[in-house]
Amino acid sequence: MQAISKALKGRDFISIHDYTAEEIKLVLETGAQLKKENKDGIAHHHLQGKTLGMIFQKSSTRTRVAFEVGMYQLGGHALFLSPRDIQLGRGESIKDTAQVLARMLDGIMIRTFEHEEVLELAKWADIPIINGLTDLLHPTQIIGDMMTIKEHKGTLKGLKCVFIGDGNNVAHSLLFGGAKVGMDIIIACPPGFEPSAEILTLARQDAQQTGAKLSVMTDPQEAVRDADIIYTDVWASMGQEDEAEEKEAQFLRYQVNQQLMSLAKKDAIVLHCLPAKRGKEITDEVMDGPQSVVFDEAENRLHAHKAIMALVM
């Protein structure tokens, strides 16, 4: 397959910001091609004989299954490393863990709390490190999401994508993703829950190249006007469960419901990275409704992850 170039071999996949617009385009195109060929029954064993270690310090359904199945479909093997079982959970350092795993594996996917842990792992392991979510970023999610938007809208450039809710890890990676592909991103969040100013500044630097407009506002109704994509996520992310109840009152008007949807474009699509708290950030009516593409979005994690692994490993 021509798209599996040598260009990205050996690279870490920690943030979309680390990649050029052309490289992100290559990842998206590779994902779309691998998906099509998978549907056509064409198998690719790009990673035959290779092993991916998967460290999960937080729960996961989609990310874990997509990486594990993706690795299998590419002819390789994936190893689930639970902190309950590996010595990292008993205090062995990331530095030592990285150096040991790098001698045996061909790549590591890690989902953890502090983003710095991923950077530390990458510093000490001379094999590709893939960020499977941190408190700061969720880059593999946004690759699958942009594939989904492209499938449904035919393009990414010039679209208006409105993220409603908490300025969290998904919002941050969406800002980076939009900036790379020229898609406008509006984050509508309650005061005090804005995305990081540092991320916004970096994303705006990237956006200068593509013309994407990135903005943050508090009024969800104003934000969704003329939106092509409405995106939401939980109000309390993993690790913030204690804050969930307290946050709820501030987030009530940020629910994606039919009334809010009626203010967007008629053909707007709805994304949610999942898992969803139905009845909180999104209603059943919207999530199960005709504009929702959330399960296509979940499926595309598989193809997105295959593309990332095939390109960097």
The torsion defined by the Cα of 234, 226, 289 and 215, in degrees rounded to 10, comes to -10
Interface mask toward ligand NVA for 229-268; x: CB under 6 A: ----xx--xx------------------------------
Query: How many alpha carbons lie under 13 Å from residue 304 in its C-beta half-sphere?
Result: 31
The closest of 130, 135, 163 to 63, measured between CA atoms, is: 130
Q: Which range binds ligand CP by CB under 6 A, 6-14, 60-68, 172-180, 245-253?
A: 60-68
- By the rule CB under 6 A, 109 interacts with ligand CP: no
Judged on CB neighbours under 10 Å (0-12, 13-18, 19+), 246 is exposed
Size of the site for ligand CP (CB under 6 A): 9
Q: Which range binds ligand NVA by CB under 6 A, 69-77, 154-162, 167-175, 224-232?
A: 167-175
Residue nearest ligand CP (C-beta atom): 63
- By the rule CB under 6 A, 28 interacts with ligand NVA: no
The closest of 232, 238, 264, 225 to 251, measured between CA atoms, is: 232
**Quick one: tokens of 285?**
């009516």
- By the rule CB under 6 A, 140 interacts with ligand NVA: no
Residue nearest ligand NVA (C-beta atom): 237
Dmax (CA) for the chain in angstroms is 55
- By the rule CB under 6 A, 170 interacts with ligand NVA: yes
In whole angstroms, what is the distance from residue 310 CA to residue 76 CA? 10
**273 catalytic per annotation:** yes
Residue 238: left if φ>0, alpha if ψ -120 to 50, beta else—which one? beta
- By the rule CB under 6 A, 141 interacts with ligand CP: yes
Smallest gap from Cβ 102 to ligand NVA, in A, equals: 27
Binding site for ligand CP (CB under 6 A): 60-63, 133, 141, 273-275
Q: Which residues are catalytic?
A: 111, 138, 141, 233, 273, 301
